[in-house]
Amino acid sequence: MARPKPEAFNKVKTVAENRRARYDFYIEDKYEAGIMLTGTEVKSLRFGEGSIAESYAEVKADGVWLINANIPEFSHGNRFNHEPKRPRKLLLNVREINKMHAAVSRDGMTLVPLSVYFNGRGRAKVELALAKGKKAPDKRATEKERDWKREQGRIMRDRG
């Protein structure tokens, strides 16, 4: 009997995606986390601005923090505008935080954000993954496999 597929997160509007993460890392577990944002950050994200390309998450004593995520200043913001690359706290259950802390400290894994999106209720969320880094030969093998899948599709399309 096949395993049931895990339920996907309810992504209504994807704001930013880290496509490079799937190339650079083996994705083990995925988590959905809320983000503590200020008003101008939410407005900036709703306009589709933001980047998580070079960002990562860090487990500290007081929780999990999203580091180096770029949410540009809101264009119509005033003197209360936010700092673009400030660390942002991620909202997770204590059990999830403990699991992440154990994996990062013991197994040498990394917390990588895969995407930032708004869910069905309009809340900003981050899809966070526990990942293990790939070496150069692993990346080449992944690329070779992807090329073969593409070629397979072409062959099937031409014959069929």
Instruction: Outline where the chain has alpha helix (H).
Output: 20-24, 39-46, 94-107, 136-159
With 0-12 CB in 10 A as exposed, 13-18 as middle and 19+ as buried, what is 112?
A: buried
pTM flag (> 0.85): no
In the chain, domain spans: 13-134
- pLDDT tens for the chain, residues 1 to 160: 666 666 678 788 899 999 888 888 889 999 999 999 988 899 899 998 899 999 999 999 889 999 999 998 888 877 878 888 999 999 999 999 999 999 999 888 899 999 999 998 889 999 999 999 888 888 898 889 999 999 999 999 988 6
Looking at residue 138, its pLDDT comes to 83
Among 2.40.280.10, 2.40.100.20, 3.40.190.10, 3.40.640.10, name the CATH number for the domain at 13-134: 2.40.280.10
Looking at residue 125, its pLDDT comes to 93
Looking at residue 1, its pLDDT comes to 61
Looking at residue 64, its pLDDT comes to 94
Looking at residue 23, its pLDDT comes to 86
d(CA 51, CA 66): 12
Looking at residue 11, its pLDDT comes to 82
DSSP classification of residue 3? P
CA trace torsion 77, 15, 133, 144 (10° rounding): -140
Looking at residue 144, its pLDDT comes to 92
152, amino acid identity: Q
